[in-house]
Structure 1
Amino acid sequence: MSKIYVIHENSEWTVHLTKRLEELDIPYEEWFLDKGILDLSQIPPEGVFYNRMSASSHTRGHRYAPELTSAVLAWIEKHGRKVINGSRAIQLEVSKVAQYLSLNTYGIRTPKTLAAVGISEILEAAGSFEGKPFITKHNRAGKGLGVHLFYTLEGLKEYLEGPTFEDSVDGITLVQEYIQAPEPYITRCEFIGGKFVYAVQVDTSEGFELCPADACRIGDLFCPVGEEVPLKPKFQIIENFDHPILQKYEEFLKNNSIQIAGIEFIRDKDGEIYTYDVNTNTNYNSDAEAAVEKYGMLEIAKFFGEELEKL
């Protein structure tokens, strides 16, 4: 019997999906690809394969999970199976350089970025910003890991030569212009089946750990106003969000064979949009979804049911 095969390396992020698949009585099987053997002479089973491998797998002790997933996806695709977020998706998931270059192809603006390997090269790259603030980030990361803001080259040098410096797992550090937003928010647009579902506003005032999954949530923020201390959620779904950028995002996803993704952007003081991250193993925040009764994992499960019917 055909079923949904969920390829991943983190059960905490997948349990919300499998719960929805069970609710809809959709058959599924999990492929936990932290390690394993791939016999190229074998034929993959019939079904729909969903890749939700994460660029941050190495932070959970699964250093080579994306590489194994790439091999498995190539094997599955060679045999003509239906794959959701296939080989191109994993390529973009593990490389922000690849993401930015592809985004630019579709007229989507990204922050000025230099990729550097080596301490002296990172410093040299930062010098091109001529005294303006900049950030460093890992080329292969996830959850905003490795992101640091600097105002001076001296501050960067101290960090690079100090005990807290952590190199990207692929050795490539990105040095990127800092986009100053008028308010501490970024926007994340969610897509299922290649189509826009909703946008969520994310409060960044506590830093760059922006994963919306309940498992890595930092908790709610409090913003005192006079004598009142109202609860201010970190994630809020924006009702009726609409912008021409969505059409460009959908074109980008379609031409990269990506069906499920979250794409993040920030606005500068002039309202210009800069897109800086594409997450192909997107998670959703349960509190934000419950507030507006929109549920990403339920929509994914429905989408998978439709894909199974097509088989």
Structure 2
Amino acid sequence: MTATVHPLLSGAATPSLDPLVSLIAADMNHVNAEILARMQSEVPLIPELAGHLIAGGGKRMRPMLTLACAKLLGYGGTRHHKLAATVEFIHTATLLHDDVVDGSGMRRGKRTANLIWGNPATVLVGDFLFSRSFELMVEDGSLRVLRILSSASAIIAEGEVAQLTAQRRIETDEDRYLRIIDAKTAALFAAACRISAVVAERDEADELALDSYGRNLGIAFQLVDDAIDYASDGTTMGKDTGDDFRDGKVTLPVILAHARGDETQRRFWKDAIEGRRTSDEDLAHAIRLLEEIGAVADTLARARHYGQRAIAALGRFPDGRAKSALIEAVEFAVARAY
């Protein structure tokens, strides 16, 4: 039996984050105030460096999901404000650390903190933000919330280490790749959504449904990111085109191209991922191979599959403005590639 595809995922409408932003605008003002207050320090470099990234134009999708899921469940309290700030601090800390590990020079179209202030300061401010996130978790007072968010933080770190150990290893397969992105990206999406069910005092079934929504959305989100590294430009992406290629990151487009290629093509991918073919001409050749073999298109098709799974996870919840906004957020995540 063929699964029904949601109309948005079929391309029947132009998706937007506007419904989500509008839904949680008032709550987001409280979250932003909390973020601003908690990144203050007597050490001037800390708010300066943290503010560079936090004010850098990010969509704050993860904390928005915490707020929107609380709306979906009819929660009328305020605990989710601090917890949404917690989620953003965890995310921001991981970005700071990632840019150091990757040696990145651009994020969201701006110079990265490590390029401006150096690696040591960037790592230490990331540590500061992690510490702030745990302060906020403890202040909430729920051991279950603490367990969910602290577990997600550990899983994210494991995912980043797993990605590092898979770097420049062309033998990395699709299953391992999916485990890596489930950990390094999807785990925080899942936790951001799941904690809303805890504060709303809903049962485990609702928790698991929101976890599934966030996790599948997170996987779709990362699949699209990995696809458009080979199919977009620096202005669109806010980072240098081909960064993953030059860094030797084995993402799904490369895995598919390597698996489907002939002997000559497989040798090219091995040389490229191991750092021996990284010129602009090599990148152009890689993009041509990916197009010929349909690897980017198939990666985006997988993203749509996970997007549909995210939408299906919301099936137990009543229709309404919040549910519609969460559904459209999925399609927005997928449509970034088009």
**More strand per residue: 1 or 2?**
1
TM-score with structure 1 length normalisation? 0.25
Q: Kindly indicate which of the two structures has a greater share of residues assigned to helix.
A: 2
Which structure has more relative contact order (CA 8 Å, sep 6+)? It is 2
